[in-house]
Structure 1
Amino acid sequence: MTDNARGPEGGEARVGYGRPPKSGQFRKGVSGNPKGKPKGAKNRPRAESEQLRALIRREAYRPVKVRIDGTELTMPLAQAALRSLGTAALSGETRALAIFLKILSAGAAEEDAVMEEILEEARETEKPVIRVRIVDAVDGRAVPTDEVLYPYGGGPAQRDRQDK
Structure 2
Amino acid sequence: MSNRKRSSPRNGEYSVGYGRPPQHTRFRPGRSGNPKGRPKGSKNFHTVFAEELAQSVTLIENGKRKKMPKARALVKQSINKALGNDPRATAIVFDQIRRSEGSGKAPVAVVEAGFRENKLVVESIVRRIRLAAEAEEEMDASPDNGEAPK
Q: RCO (CA 8 Å, sep 6+): is it higher in 1 or 2?
A: 2
Query: TM-score higher than 0.5 here?
Result: no
Give me the TM-score of the superposition, normalised by structure 1.
Answer: 0.36
TM-score, with length taken from structure 2: 0.39
